[in-house]
Amino acid sequence: MKHRYLPMTEQDQQEMLKTVGANSIEDLFKDIPEEIRFKGELPVSKRLDEYALTTYLSALAAKNANTDQYPSFLGAGLYDHHIPSVINHVVSRSEFYTAYTPYQPEISQGELQAIFEFQSYICELTGMAVANASMYDGATALAEAGSLASAATKRTKLVVSAAVHPESRQVLHTYARGLGLDIVEVGTHNGVTDMAELAQAVSDDTAAVLVQNPNFFGSVEDLAAIGGLIHNHKGLMVVSANPLSLGLLEAPGRLGADIVVGDAQPLGIAASFGGPTCGFFAVSQEHMRRIPGRIVGQTVDRNGKRGFVLTLQAREQHIRREKATSNICSNQALLALCASVYLSVMGKQGLIEVGRLNLQKSHYAAGQLAKLPGVTLPHASPFFNEFVIKLPAGTSVADVNAKLLKQGFLGGYDLGRAYPELEGHMLVAVTERRTKEQIDQFVSLLEGCL
Amino acid sequence: MIQEKALIFELSHPGRIAYSLPELDVPELEAESLIPAAMLRSETAALPEVYEVDVIRHYTELSRRNFGVDNGFYPLGSCTMKYNPKVNEDVARYPGFAKIHPYQPEESIQGALELMYQLQQDLAGLTGMDAVTLQPAAGAHGEWTGLMMIRAYHESRGEFRDKVIVPDSSHGTNPASASVAGLKTITIPSTDKGLVDLEALRAAVGSDTAALMLTNPNTLGLFEEQIQEIAAIVHEAGGLLYYDGANSNAIMGITRPGDMGFDVVHLNLHKTMSTPHGGGGPGAGPVGVKNLLVPFLPLPLVSKKEDGMYTLEGGSESSIGRVKAYYGNFGILVRAYAYMRSYGPEGLRRVSECAVLNANYMMKRLEPYYDIPYPGVCKHEFVMSGTPLKQYGVRTLDVAKRLLDFGYHPPTIYFPLNVDECMMIEPTETESKDTLDAFIDTMIQIAKEAEEQPELLLNAPYGTPVTRLDETTAARKPVLNCACS
């Protein structure tokens, strides 16, 4: 058969078989026992030509409501921020996207420098000393942070706030089962981690307290207080941070965080149905040699010229095998590049400005929603760009969202999905992409649904 | 000499901007009235101040200092650096795929779920497994997911089995994933033919065997001919068989892990299914299982309801839980599905045939010039040893560096660990005979250079943006960020 990606002609095949000393391609598979050879046609979907493929996939895509057409008030870990045009142009440079992990530094300086700059950006935003080249996502980064904390403290108990993303906690539980760690969950009060309950849960055998900031409800946690509490027991504070909030909110490193992780999706990465996004992982200096994954370091070449290499590889699976600090190999390098380009575009002023827009618009929306009859804001804690509303008793958030969808809007997250006690509560995200007009429309449509 | 490239931070000029944001169109409140001062940033993040042209020129220049499959031949063994089709990039960027949220009402994401469902079916058919999860984000993540299921399976039967057997030629992720799953690794030696040593395997299995992890063809590019016997030994001991799918590009449509006796398989979509490696990711590592492991699959799974609608609801109580947020690296799944549909059943088989013929052709032509420790027939890749060049003071690393001057990405070097001075070559099916011939001729020339002018290799490369880098200092005195503030 002929195919546009396959260059081998009949003549090539004959010449090559002759060189090899085989009569047919079949000869090359003689080492596969007859009984396990596959016979007949593979049970996979039929072949499509390029036009048929794009037609078919366009039709599939059109069955989905996308956030260019449906103004979205849905966040819950993935946010509808503006993605500057230049990002797609940069990551579409195929020198970047068709390259492997930069094992040959002389011809991979571009990727290596880009990762070094990503690490620098993450350190600057989080206030930490060392960052790696990326993790799969924010959830797995949090789980790996738990693993690091356990190894560093030689303790096995992790205390996690119920205000951490429900899916991150689920992933943490799965990893913990593998690693033999115990997880204790601490409840919330007023939309933030319940400090009294936390104080009860933390003891001298606690490896770390894991919190999220802003947390899943959008509220800003009192990191300094939480850090003080766990440090009294010589455990670590792990903070999962929204990086876009860090133009406005204090760097977790300055509030006592020992490990800062998170998902870089808000930094110029499309939601893409939840992936690929980009986890990040940053630690204080003392944990440098326990960090999982790839790290790029600066060095010099034989002429003394600055260059970059993968470094501290003695931590990694390809050297240490079963003793590695993690099994991670492939990460999310191309998405880390998106985040770097985003931060280069936003710069010093832009990151502050986008934070300001998110803060102001979400507070405007919260104020307008609170005016609706029967709608309340159950939490009094400060928030950044996401907040909880309580709908009138007996209202189903799923029903409201179904009605909003028909009107061309994506409503907020139904908190009852993950928190049975929060049935009838909606988590509303408002980014800089939402205009006052859309917010007002959303408020009035929501009123119509009640 | 090529100039040193500035960091983006070094291009900063106070007052320049590259962003464009909407005006604030709602009444502004004092930030301090909304968030306590102690929680607000005390020191502005020292991000660069550049304008848009700086950004574009900076990253364009970085891209010019990078080498991808689109730049040239990339025979990196075990990494399957095949061509990344452009139409796959287009379709993944359709707003209906790229700009959708996983928590949207299910009626508004039916197209995405349908695609995932179809891909699950196709991957199950390709590998001969009963069900597939698309959740894992990469190969190692898939390994860990599979091992967690194996562990849960044994535990559900009241058995304590914590040993994972791997051959000495296995990928480093295998033992590392076993550790993260709370299992211990037993490494068994290979025979002098490069295959699993059945006696060593028999000696290693027992009532504590959780699984054998195997790549087939293995990392030497050899098919484990005794796979049925291997499977029988492991199964009789009560263990399960894990298939590391990194080398699946050799066998599509020819043989299936499910038919070989494997119980779990992961595929690297960023290898076999052509999704781009992205300079180190993102990947995707779907895992297929036989029926006995279906109850343990991670959540959620896409299923089809009686009314024809697709749903993420449901799942088994014995599931190992969630392994990643949301539903896997969906954007990669879109590309992989587009790839599989571009070939269809007959095409996928042809992919493997061409990949295997290309590898055998290269091995045969290089045999007179390099040491081929496992001659005969290989699959999609083969290994060579650079030991004959040691007499000239030249090592495999030097051969690799010299290749850079000819515009090639070198093969994988110093892996697998059981071959001295190893070079592992995987041409893939998307390279033409002309490309292979030119590379082979270069390798022959380099072998001659090693003999006649070894210093040419020892000082290589010459035409790259930097020469060889001091990796020792980089690790001893780590400089891991620019300390811009």
A173 touches chain B (CB under 8 A): yes
Kindly compute the dihedral angle of the four CA atoms of residues B124, B127, B129, B135, in this order, to the nearest 10 degrees.
-60
| pLDDT (tens digit per residue) in B227-270 | 999 999 999 999 999 999 999 999 999 999 999 999 999 999 99
State which residues form the domain around A113: 86-341
One-letter identity of residue A49: D
Q: Is B79 on the interface with A (CB under 8 A)?
A: yes
Which of A25, A180, A274 comes nearest B327 by C-beta?
A: A274
In a domain, B478, yes or no: no
- Nearest-10 Cα torsion for A285, A289, A290, A294: 110
State both tokens at B321. 């839980």
Whether B267 is in a domain gets the answer yes
Cα B459 from Cα B73, distance rounded (Å): 22
In this structure, the number of other CB atoms found within 10 A of the CB of residue B284 comes to 32
> A13 to chain B, minimum CA–CA distance in Å?
8
Residues A407 and A331 both lie in one domain: no
> Residues in chain A with pLDDT < 50?
none
Domain that holds residue B16: 8-64
Q: Kindly state whether residue A215 falls inside one of the protein's structural domains.
A: yes
B 246-305 residues with CB below 8 A of A?
A: 251-256, 259-260, 268, 270, 276-283, 298
DSSP A272: G
Are B244 and B263 part of one and the same domain? Answer: yes
Say yes or no: B392 and B260 in one domain.
Answer: no
Q: Which residue of B has its CA nearest to A123?
A: B481
Give the CATH number, domain containing residue A428.
Answer: 3.90.1150.10
Q: Searching chain A, which residue's CA lies closest to the CA of residue B80?
A: A100
pLDDT of residue B418: 86
The CB-side HSE value for B275 (13 A sphere, CA atoms) comes to 30
Judge if B331 and B391 occupy the same domain.
Answer: no
Residues 190-219 on B with a CB inside 8 Å of A are none
* Residues A251 and A359 placed together within one structural domain of the fold: no
Tokens of B222: 């050899």
Amino acid B485: pLDDT: 56
Contacts A354 to B, Cβ<8 Å: 19, 21
Q: What is the pLDDT of residue A120?
A: 98
> Chain A within 8 Å of B327 (Cβ-Cβ)?
yes
Q: Is B256 helix (H, G, I), strand (E, B) or coil?
A: coil
Assess whether B262 and B398 both reside in one domain: no
Q: CA B272, CA B73: separation in Å to the nearest integer?
A: 17
Q: What is the pLDDT of residue B484?
A: 66
What distance in Å separates residue B135's CA from the closest CA in chain A?
10
Contact across the interface for A167 and B482, Cβ inside 8 Å: no
Residue A61 half-sphere exposure, CB side, CA atoms within 13 Å? 25
**Overall domain count for chain A:** 2
The answer to whether position B73 is within a domain reads: no
Q: pLDDT below 70 — which residues of chain B?
A: 1-2, 484-485
How confident is the model at residue B1, as a pLDDT?
Answer: 58
Output the domain CATH number for residue A298.
3.40.640.10
Helix (H, G, I), strand (E, B) or coil at B167: strand
Q: Which residue of A has its CA nearest to B136?
A: A136
* Cβ proximity of A87 and A422 under 8 Å: no
**Domain match, A251 and A366 both:** no
Angle between helices B110-127 and A50-62 (to 10 degrees): 130
Quick check: B150 and B211 in contact, CB under 8 A?
yes
CA distance B391 to chain A (A): 25
Q: Quick check: is B106 in a domain?
A: yes
Inter-axis angle of helices B52-64 and A333-370, nearest 10: 150
User: Do residues A319 and A359 both lie within one domain?
Assistant: no
Which DSSP helix (H) or strand (E) runs through A248?
A: none
In a domain, A355, yes or no: yes
Q: A27: nearest CA in chain B?
A: B377
Shortest distance between the Cα of B257 and any Cα of chain A, in A, equals 9
CB pairs under 8 A between A and B: 720
| Cross-strand pairs, B188 | B167
Asked if A74 lies within 8 A of B104 by C-beta distance, the reply is yes
B445 CB contacts (<8 Å, ≥6 apart)? none
The sign one gets for the Cα dihedral A93, A98, A100, A104 is: negative
CB distance from A396 to chain B under 8 Å?
no
Q: Are residues A437 and A306 in the same domain?
A: no
B29 with B177, same domain: the answer is: no
Same domain, yes or no: A242 and A316: yes
Picking from A307, A341, A375, the residue at the C-terminal end of a domain is A341
B87 and A54 in contact by Cβ < 8 A? yes
Instruction: List the Cα angle B429/B434/B439 in 5-degree steps.
Output: 85
Q: pLDDT tens across A295-333, in order? A: 999 999 999 999 999 999 988 888 888 888 899 998 999
Give the amino acid at B341: R
Q: How many CA atoms lie within 13 A of A297 on its CB side?
A: 21
Domain count along chain B: 3
> Are the C-beta atoms of residues A161 and A212 closer than 8 Å to each other?
yes
Q: Under DSSP, is residue B287 helix (H, G, I), strand (E, B) or coil?
A: strand
Backbone angles phi, psi at A425, to 5 degrees: -110, 140
Q: Where are the beta strands (DSSP E) in A302-440?
A: 306-310, 386-390, 413-414, 425-429
Tens of pLDDT, residue by residue over B384-402, are 999 999 999 999 999 999 9
Three-class secondary structure assignment of A359-372: HHHHHHHHHHHHCC
